[in-house]
Amino acid sequence: MKKQTIAPAQQAGFSTLEMWLNRENKLFTELFADKGESITNKKMLLDMQLILSLVVLLTFNFVNPLMTLICALWFGSAALLVKKYDDTDIQKGGTK
């Protein structure tokens, strides 16, 4: 009788999500990547968050000082996430 290991549904869902995040995004690769470079879905989502946070920061800049502070913190954290991803990608041997 063969031994079978059954992964919980939550773990299987996480690995599916992780596989999707690491898959190449063909649209962004075609539009924005240099020849031989590949942009993953994770990088695309991080870049889109950075762009969205910048747009929200510029839009709500004059509405309220508290809103400006919150948007600036969001933009700063998005920029740090993109920088962290780029640094780990370079350490893994990716191209920039």
Q: pTM score, two decimals?
A: 0.75
Helical residues (DSSP H) of 1-96, grouped into ranges: 9-22, 26-32, 41-59, 65-91
d(CA 37, CA 18): 20
Q: What is the pLDDT of residues 2-52, one digit of tens each?
A: 666 665 666 666 788 999 999 999 999 998 888 888 899 999 999 999 999
d(CA 73, CA 18): 27
